[in-house]
Amino acid sequence: MPHIIEGQMTAQGLKVAIFATRFNDFVVSHLISGAMDFLTRHGMNADDATIIRVPGAFELPIACKKAAASGKYDGIVALGAVIRGGTPHFDYVCSEAAKGLALVSLEKDMPLGFGLLTRDSLEQAIDRAGAKSGNKGVEAASAMLETIRVLEQI
Ligand code: INI
């Protein structure tokens, strides 16, 4: 029989940093609510979450890097929304943010839920922020939690 490792979805006792962009706050505020709702429903004490606002998606990696190095957090959720319609430099912002966040996670051994919406229009972004097509903040928080619990066992 194989030995199977799976993450238990319990957030009790975890200290979590939730980074969220001010850019597109109309959308991002719903991602924050989704992440907080998910984590508290899975046992996290709301007082054990720290919500940190950064200007835009481009600034997420450096802020997450500092939190990861601080030793204060068990995991990080990075939330934001980059919308192509209003963004001539859409591709640069998205790719630098994604690349930077992946580096932080790998270099700092930090479970990091990637909750950056990259959509063509505001309507599409709203659909993924709790309207028609789920909530990316919930998904990012869930992925972070599962990763924390899996890494503990490897
Ligand atoms: N930042 C975002 O988070 N979302 C966007 O849609 C966006 N647009 O449209 O440009 C955006 N730009 C700002 C960028 O992330 C930096 O904050 C800015 O370039 C200053 O460094």
Query: Residues 35-83: pLDDT tens digits?
Result: 999 999 999 999 999 999 999 999 999 999 999 999 999 999 999 999 9
Instruction: Decide if pLDDT at 11 tops 90.
Output: yes
How large a percentage of the chain has pLDDT more than 90?
95
The pLDDT assigned to 20 comes to: 98
pTM, to two decimals: 0.97
- For the segment 130-150, the average pLDDT, to the nearest whole number, is 97
- For the segment 105-125, the average pLDDT, to the nearest whole number, is 97
Output the average pLDDT for the chain: 96
Which of 19, 93, 95, 101 is the best mutation target for the ligand 1 pocket, counting ligand atoms within 8 Å of the beta carbon and taking the most? 93
Nearest CA to ligand 1 atom 6: 82
Task: Identify which of 81, 84, 73 has the alpha carbon closest to the alpha carbon of residue 108.
Answer: 73
Rounded to whole angstroms, how far apart are CA atoms 94 and 99? 8
The pLDDT assigned to 86 comes to: 62
How large a percentage of the chain has pLDDT more than 70?
99
The pLDDT assigned to 82 comes to: 96
Choice between 132 and 37, residue whose per-residue pLDDT is larger: 37
Which of 23, 101, 120, 136 is the best mutation target for the ligand 1 pocket, counting ligand atoms within 8 Å of the beta carbon and taking the most? 23
Confidence of residue 85 (pLDDT cuts 50, 70, 90): confident
How many CA atoms, within 13 angstroms, populate the side-chain half-sphere of residue 8? 7
The pLDDT assigned to 87 comes to: 65
The pLDDT assigned to 89 comes to: 85
Domains of the chain: 16-23+34-151 (3.40.50.960)
Distance between Cα 57 and ligand 1 center (Å): 6
- For the segment 126-149, the average pLDDT, to the nearest whole number, is 97
